[in-house]
Structure 1
């Protein structure tokens, strides 16, 4: 290894040690499973805001979004960002406070499956079991894609074998998650959001300088027909613009619907100490999301200008363009010791974006298996100490499955992300909104919406979307609408909820 490579590696190792240290620090604050999975509802407004958004964005923010903007311009990346920004704001505005209050009122529910069961007084455990199984189905491969991203990052940069690099990354994530639980994951997510922000702005400043200035960047973008437009996208193969149709815009905006059903984000709402501080959290989160996504898209535009200036090689497909920030960091590291440290921070930011999502997913999936399926549905009676051990062992087992799924270095890191996002949004999004805002919703309606939404994601993705045309839209939108329709129809056709449930709803 060169001195430059060793310097980059040292910065990233220091970062990983810091994350494990936080896990050790917070391990002493977990007295029971409520602390482990929800932090005893002790999060402050800043940690709530930033940990929610860091766990949301993942490596998609630093790799996927700039990569899309680099290749095709502003349309797809822009409408996706707009949809996510609207979804983020509405989730904080209409869901966060009511969910925090309702989960506490409904027998102090510490997981989403437990909330659905307690909300509807479902003594059959069907709601809990189905929701827990759905969470595991969509989260395990999602987590595996995060492990794979870490492995590919180390493998590409340092020339080490993919499998050991991926396993070591997974071990670090599992260590601080199993030790510190929800509080450790939330605090590391706060730090990771700061690192991600620093990484974005270092890349922007260095990129503008390398590309020849802001005017050169804009001139390059204008030279490609449709590149800066939100209503047409640039086709690099044809060198021409392609109209971005209204149906495609609506489909892309539908990404925002996914927020209402994201377990790892909703858990942050449930974990805040004071519900009155959620307004502060909402402002912080919304501003950070808008700025970070705008900067990420701008990095893609800068990258195109850097290619024209000869500083970067031409990226011809998404697999290559998603490495834009990694290649920029390597380029930056050639300019002395300080530049090596800054480049290391950029790479640590990519690592942070992946880890901040993986730790949250591990906790959410683990809580469904150990707490909801084993203890609640199967009736296992465990002591406080045994419950903590079960929780930690479940995190390890789920991580091992994730490592197994990520063992192939040629597997697609991001292919599953949009599908898993659609799965969560369709399975839980409509059910969550109706649970919080329509008192006529009953247990049968919620169960129908959950099943129809989850199944329709698969049906639309693999059977209907391939037909193309009007059907070739993102599966989240039709699946979400079908879930909502199922909730309304089944709830109205079956007995209304009991007076006890209605009274609790109105009190919330």
Structure 2
């Protein structure tokens, strides 16, 4: 117990220390929200990765999908790395940084408002973010309950209150830079932690080959496996179609999440884009791939009463903690810090995004304009963001302390609504001049409407698959509606896209000159 407590005390001390060290970077709105657009590759890449993977993934999703799909759930982690990280950086990274800087846009709703010349779009996007980021924030705590009960035998409510309070302190102190510097530290812990946990769990089950052999002999849930032998060790698992839906939601979904895309706003330079792409992808392969690979061996524990409810159904959130029960004490301490790191990094990114969006894109847009000087106005905005940050954390804690019965599904609904509404308009808005304002409205309405309707009517049983449908449909809706609706003024759109045509000078090691003469023999 002493070792575990020491791990926690050191961890929390480092977090607060970083908040104090970076507080000078948060004296302006752009500094507080984007770190002055001066984040290097390591900070941006780890900020992106740690915001991506929370305790929901490590405890909830890894256990649930590992139980359902076996080792084929590793494909989810691979999809997260290739689609959610590599392609996201390649397709969105540079263009997002260039256009948002050109438009002086600080948030995703701000981008929609300025790109499509619509204050109403900006307010609508802010409302969608506010409504669906709160339940997402609450879901971050869910993965902690059984882990802390296993490690400390204490009520997890104490843990989430302490975690929320400490996150609140360092984000209020240092804003974006405190968040990404802490993300770097937390990301390193996650990399080492997941590697050590996988090695130890497999060793406890006789090694990789022995564990795989035992898993292949599982005969439980025959309706799921359709009578297949060794379904849980097969290449695509027992249910490839639903597995594909999970990959789409958890991978493509990041392209439309405000807290994820916002990391691209703050990239420092071209070198940071290229290095960040590589670092972020490797991080996702190790952390996401490792989490789902570990979860793939969940069926090895199917006889353990700790993972079942009284009615005999499986408690997915208890699977990973049960796998970790027999780890050495020091490794349990590492796992606790690992899950806290994953949770606090995601939590800090979410509440910073929520508070800045509501302040800049909602309150500032609907309140009466006053003739106050810029310095005074910025000071007011900073105070408002910090107060709202406390509010969002308090609300998420209250929801987590008394969670509704469907809280475990809220992450799927939140991702579906946010990415379903934002992904397609943002992507097409970056690349296609002919994207129209009305197409964005239609996508907003469809993404949110479809998700909410499915929550109650359940015409698609899985919220994961429903979210995947909204995202893919949005990519089709936006161009189709744009072809038949009024275009924005050509000169205005040309002015927005002119940022991509500006000439820059780079060193030859980053770009070869065109028509360069060949060297003489």
What TM-score do you get using the length of structure 1 for normalisation?
0.87
Deviation at 1:475, TM superposition (A): 1.0
> Does 1:352 find its partner at 2:349?
no
Cα separation, 1, equivalents of 2:113 and 2:126: 11
In 2, are the aligned partners of 1:199 and 1:346 still within 8 Å (CA)? yes
For residue 279 of structure 1, what is the aligned residue in structure 2?
274
In 2, are the aligned partners of 1:460 and 1:479 still within 8 Å (CA)? no
For residue 386 of structure 2, what is the aligned residue in structure 1?
392
For residue 100 of structure 1, what is the aligned residue in structure 2?
97
For residue 185 of structure 2, what is the aligned residue in structure 1?
191
> Does 1:55 find its partner at 2:51?
yes
Cα separation, 1, equivalents of 2:275 and 2:204: 38
Q: Structure 1, residues 393-441: CA drift from partner, whole Å, max 9, x if none?
A: 1101111211221222685663211111111210101111110111101
For residue 238 of structure 1, what is the aligned residue in structure 2?
none
Cα separation, 1, equivalents of 2:5 and 2:263: 32
Deviation at 1:329, TM superposition (A): 4.4
Cα separation, 2, equivalents of 1:214 and 1:152: 26
In the TM superposition, 1:383-462 aligns within 5 A as 383-408=377-402, 414-462=408-456
Cα separation, 2, equivalents of 1:86 and 1:113: 27
**Inter-CA distance 152–173: structure 2 relative to 1 (3 Å threshold):** farther
In the TM superposition, 1:104-253 aligns within 5 A as 104-106=101-103, 108-122=104-118, 125-150=119-144, 153-224=147-218, 225-233=230-238, 244-246=239-241, 248-253=242-247
For residue 336 of structure 1, what is the aligned residue in structure 2?
none
**Inter-CA distance 347–165: structure 2 relative to 1 (3 Å threshold):** closer
Deviation at 1:148, TM superposition (A): 4.4
Cα separation, 2, equivalents of 1:112 and 1:11: 37
SS of residue paired to 1:62: helix
In 2, are the aligned partners of 1:87 and 1:259 still within 8 Å (CA)? no
Cα separation, 2, equivalents of 1:472 and 1:43: 35
* Structure 1 residue ranges (4+ consecutive) displaced by more than 6 angstroms after TM superposition: none
Cα separation, 2, equivalents of 1:411 and 1:153: 20
In 1, are the aligned partners of 2:37 and 2:266 still within 8 Å (CA)? yes
For residue 478 of structure 2, what is the aligned residue in structure 1?
487
> Does 1:322 find its partner at 2:317?
yes
Cα separation, 1, equivalents of 2:171 and 2:269: 24
Cα separation, 1, equivalents of 2:147 and 2:407: 11
Unpaired runs of 5+ in structure 2? 219-229, 371-375, 501-521
In 1, are the aligned partners of 2:70 and 2:295 still within 8 Å (CA)? no
Unpaired runs of 5+ in structure 1? 234-243, 334-339
Match of 1:254 among 248, 253, 265: 248
Cα separation, 2, equivalents of 1:319 and 1:280: 42
Deviation at 1:461, TM superposition (A): 4.1
Cα separation, 2, equivalents of 1:249 and 1:272: 33
> Does 1:296 find its partner at 2:291?
yes
Cα separation, 2, equivalents of 1:130 and 1:162: 36
What TM-score do you get using the length of structure 2 for normalisation?
0.85
Match of 1:501 among 493, 496, 500: 493
In 2, are the aligned partners of 1:24 and 1:176 still within 8 Å (CA)? yes
Q: Structure 1, residues 13-69: CA drift from partner, whole Å, max 9, x if none?
A: 321221122112111221211111111101110111111011011113321343135
Query: What is the number of equivalent residue pairs in this alignment?
Result: 478
Q: Structure 1, residues 310-363: CA drift from partner, whole Å, max 9, x if none?
A: 9x7663478645344434544223xxxxxx333211111011111111110001
In 2, are the aligned partners of 1:30 and 1:180 still within 8 Å (CA)? yes
In the TM superposition, 1:34-49 aligns within 5 A as 34-49=30-45
For residue 465 of structure 2, what is the aligned residue in structure 1?
474
**Inter-CA distance 321–392: structure 2 relative to 1 (3 Å threshold):** same
In the TM superposition, 1:364-379 aligns within 5 A as 364-379=353-368
RMSD across aligned positions (CA): 2.6
In 2, are the aligned partners of 1:303 and 1:324 still within 8 Å (CA)? yes
**Inter-CA distance 147–496: structure 2 relative to 1 (3 Å threshold):** same
For residue 236 of structure 1, what is the aligned residue in structure 2?
none
**Inter-CA distance 220–153: structure 2 relative to 1 (3 Å threshold):** closer
In 2, are the aligned partners of 1:326 and 1:347 still within 8 Å (CA)? no
Q: Which has the higher mean CA deviation after the structures are superposed, 58-67 or 394-403?
A: 58-67
